[in-house]
């Protein structure tokens, strides 16, 4: 079967492995900006929340609660939640989701053209849509949609890393990142299983939930930096780049 010419390097390139299309650099920047924007949004919102917010004993989504009051169904009975800067948190996760959707499209050719790439990036896109759903459906506004969206983001995002790790095999551009990518997804899924089983240990419910999300966020930043540093295909002589 003939190779896909849209993804093959120019004839003057020595080999496929070390190079990427210019669009991959743009997608890499979106990966980094999206992840950092969400982390900054969490930090800023927590500052507005005040000292009553605990990284160990509060859900991440408590930062996005629209109303102040007692929320039923939390791990603590009669837990009081109040996040004055909830709009910052909800906007940051929506922005992250939107940027991630665009990034998935742009970084496509940064992986070998095989089915694992398609599946992995599709899962990453689904996770991004789940994140957008979380931002538009705060936990005290539309609980069912919020829980479903969070589950989609958690499961699809971490599965995406495992599949993308497989997609990286035999691609020299991802040397040193294959095992790390797969391990990140595995850590997130194990943390999710413990979270659902209510086995929190010293991390508490908040720490365990962060262990589900943190590997994916860190991977987005590191993978984005890595992709941004890979040289792009050079234009043939006499043709502007």
Look at residue 119 and tell me if it is in a domain: yes
CA-wise closest residue to 65 among 141, 131, 136: 141
For the chain, the domain total comes to 1
Look at residue 133 and tell me if it is in a domain: yes
Evaluate whether 166 touches 135 at the Cβ level (below 8 Å): no
Look at residue 237 and tell me if it is in a domain: no
Look at residue 212 and tell me if it is in a domain: yes
Q: Name every residue whose Cβ is closer than 8 Å to that of residue 35 and which is 6 or more positions away in sequence.
A: 96, 217, 218, 220, 221, 224
Average pLDDT of the chain, as a whole number: 88
- The predicted structure's pLDDT at residue 199: 95
Look at residue 16 and tell me if it is in a domain: no
- The predicted structure's pLDDT at residue 73: 56
Look at residue 241 and tell me if it is in a domain: no
Cα 163 to Cα 217: distance, rounded to the nearest angstrom: 16
Look at residue 235 and tell me if it is in a domain: no
Cα 235 to Cα 241: distance, rounded to the nearest angstrom: 5
Quote the domain boundaries for residue 67. Answer: 22-229
Look at residue 32 and tell me if it is in a domain: yes
- The predicted structure's pLDDT at residue 10: 43
| Segment-wise mean pLDDT, segments of 10 residues, the chain, 241 residues | 46 54 94 98 96 92 91 60 95 98 96 94 98 95 92 98 95 92 98 96 94 98 95 57 37
């Amino acid at each position: 079967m003939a190779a896909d010419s849209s993804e093959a390097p120019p004839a003057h390139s020595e080999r496929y492995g070390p190079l990427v299309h210019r669009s991959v650099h743009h997608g890499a920047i979106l990966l980094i900006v999206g992840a950092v924007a969400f982390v900054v949004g969490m930090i800023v919102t927590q500052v507005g929340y005040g000292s009553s917010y605990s990284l160990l004993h509060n859900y991440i989504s408590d930062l996005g609660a629209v109303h102040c009051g007692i929320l039923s169904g939390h791990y603590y009975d009669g837990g009081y939640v109040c996040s004055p800067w909830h709009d910052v948190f909800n906007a940051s996760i929506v922005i992250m989701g939107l940027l991630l959707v665009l990034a998935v499209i742009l970084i496509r050719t940064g992986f070998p053209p095989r089915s694992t790439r398609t599946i992995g990036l599709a899962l990453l896109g689904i996770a991004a849509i789940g994140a957008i759903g979380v931002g538009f459906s705060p936990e005290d506004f539309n609980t069912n949609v919020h829980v479903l969206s969070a589950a989609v983001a958690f499961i699809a995002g971490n599965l995406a890393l495992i599949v993308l790790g497989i997609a990286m095999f035999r691609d020299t551009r991802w040397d040193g990142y294959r095992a790390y990518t797969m391990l990140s997804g595995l850590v997130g899924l194990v943390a999710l299983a413990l979270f659902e089983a209510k086995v929190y240990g010293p991390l508490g419910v908040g720490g365990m939930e962060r262990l589900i999300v943190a590997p994916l966020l860190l991977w987005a930043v590191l993978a984005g930096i890595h992709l941004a540093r890979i040289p792009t295909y050079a234009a043939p002589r006499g043709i502007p780049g």
